[in-house]
Amino acid sequence: MAGCGPFRGAWALLEDDAVRVDVYIDEERSESELRSLQGWLGQEPAVRRTAALTLREKSAEPGSMGGVLDVLQLVTGNGWSAASFVLSVAAWRQTRPRAPQVTIRRGSTEISISNGTDAELRRVLAVLESVGGEGEPDGPDAGQGSRP
């Protein structure tokens, strides 16, 4: 099944070396902003080649009609570049009328991009590159619970 046309990359990402990165947007329009970010990242060659992008939702509240999409999940393989990802997110933020705060979680580590300065982007990149050692839940099913 690994050679099934456009799904070839997604199947390859389900191997043991997969890394999971969750992206949250902290504002009222988070669902539409996450959809926009998903489209933006899907057009970036470096991200498209190495990550499967999925919008996920919280569990529906009792009595509601459905859940709310609140996280963009990337499942990446070993060719993933944290630098390309961070630069793509920063570029997307610059296209927004009011740049939202973007929170990125890998394993148990969470960091936000709020002002997009070079120093902040370097700090986010350093954190993402340093995470994932022993004990970090990076597999495709890691951290399926709700966001703390």
Residues whose CB falls within 8 Å of the CB of residue 138, separated by 6 or more in sequence, listed in order: 18, 19, 20, 106, 107, 132
Q: Domain for residue 139, yes or no? A: no
Per-residue pLDDT band at 107 (split at 50, 70, 90): confident
For residue 147, is it within any domain? no
The confidence score (pLDDT) of residue 2 equals: 38
Does residue 113 lie within any of the structural domains? yes
| Count of beta carbons in the 10 Å neighbourhood of residue 106 | 25
- Whether 98 is covered by a domain: the verdict is yes
Give residue-wise pLDDT tens across range 31-84.
899 999 999 999 998 888 888 999 988 655 566 565 667 899 999 877 778 899
Question: Do the domain assignments include residue 26?
Answer: yes
Say which CATH number the domain at 45 has: 3.30.70
In a domain, 126, yes or no: yes
Closest to 100 in 3D by CA, of 88, 109, 112, 87: 112
**Is 143 a domain residue?**
no
Query: What is the pLDDT averaged over residues 81-93?
Result: 93
**Predicted local confidence at residue 28, as pLDDT:** 76
Provide the domain count of the chain.
1
Beta pairing class for 102-106 and 19-25: antiparallel
- Which string of DSSP letters, residue by residue, matches 38-89? HHHHHH-HHHHHHEEEEEEEPPPPTTSSS--EEEEEEEE-TT--HHHHHHHH
In a domain, 12, yes or no: no
Phi-psi region of 6 (alpha: psi -120 to 50; beta: other; left: phi over 0): alpha
Domain of residue 84, residue span? 17-58+65-130
pLDDT at 132: 60
Percent of the chain at pLDDT exceeding 70: 70
Amino acid at 48: R
Tokens for 134, please give them.
């022993």
Q: Is the pLDDT of residue 126 over 70?
A: yes
